[in-house]
Amino acid sequence: MKMTRLFVCIWLLLLFISVHAQDFSNKGKEFWIAYPAHIDATSSRMALYISSTENTTGEVQLDGKVIPFTVTANQATTVQISPIAYNIYNAQSDGIGIGKGIKVVSLKPVVVYAHILNAARSGSTLVFPTNVLGKEYISLNFTQSSTNNARSQITVVATEDNTVISKEIFIKCKLLRT
């Protein structure tokens, strides 16, 4: 009898507990991407892999130009982006690269992956659609040791004009505000 009461109490308690889960998807109709500095500079190349569960069309907007694409349901469409052909490469080590964003838009929801590569080095990312982007992010980095002075990096893409960015830097468990 006590076990039954306990079970009923737990069940009733669970009924009234609010559940909070992530309410977003990596599917969307608008995406913004940066082409961050790469050790191989402009000899590197970027590929966008775009897929969808339904047939759709869209375009990649960059450097005042447009690359149209067509996606066949359940297949990946590749869009090649050369930093030599388009002025979108963010070579600065600090500061703002204006007009260097890459915008992907589609008629129906798609998923976008970006991959920068050259020689034996590469980096990839799952691109989130604009409507699920947050306001706070944490970038975990570490001290690197290499012969070519490599270092960790973070690139921020603003999807609206006049966006203000602030940062807090933690070094060896100390907070430095900038």
For residue 28, the SS3 value is strand
Q: Which amino acid makes up residue 38?
A: H
> Which pLDDT does position 69 carry in this prediction?
98
Sign of torsion over alpha carbons 63, 68, 73, 79: negative
Cα gap 47→33, rounded to integer Å: 12
| Contact in structure between 20 and 93 (CB atoms under 8 Å) | no
Distance between CA 72 and CA 81 in Å, rounded? 20
In this predicted model, what pLDDT tens digit does every residue of 44-57 receive, in sequence order? Answer: 888 999 999 999 99
Q: Could you count the other beta carbons within 10 Å of the beta carbon of residue 146? A: 8
Q: Hey, which CATH number is domain 23-134, 3.30.479, 3.90.550, 3.40.250, 2.60.40?
A: 2.60.40
Residues in the chain where the model's pLDDT stays below 50: none
Instruction: Determine the pLDDT at residue 66.
Output: 96
- DSSP secondary structure code for residue 18 in this structure: P
Give the pLDDT score at 47.
Answer: 93
Q: Domain map of the chain by residue range? A: 23-134
Model-level pTM?
0.77
Residue carrying structure tokens 């775009």 = 50
DSSP string computed for 80-139:
EE-TTTSS-EE--SSS--TT--EEEEEEEEEEEEEEEEETTEEEEEEEPBGGG--S----
How confident is the model at residue 127, as a pLDDT? 92
Per the listing, tokens 């505000």 go with 177
Q: In whole angstroms, what is the distance from residue 64 CA to residue 87 CA?
A: 9
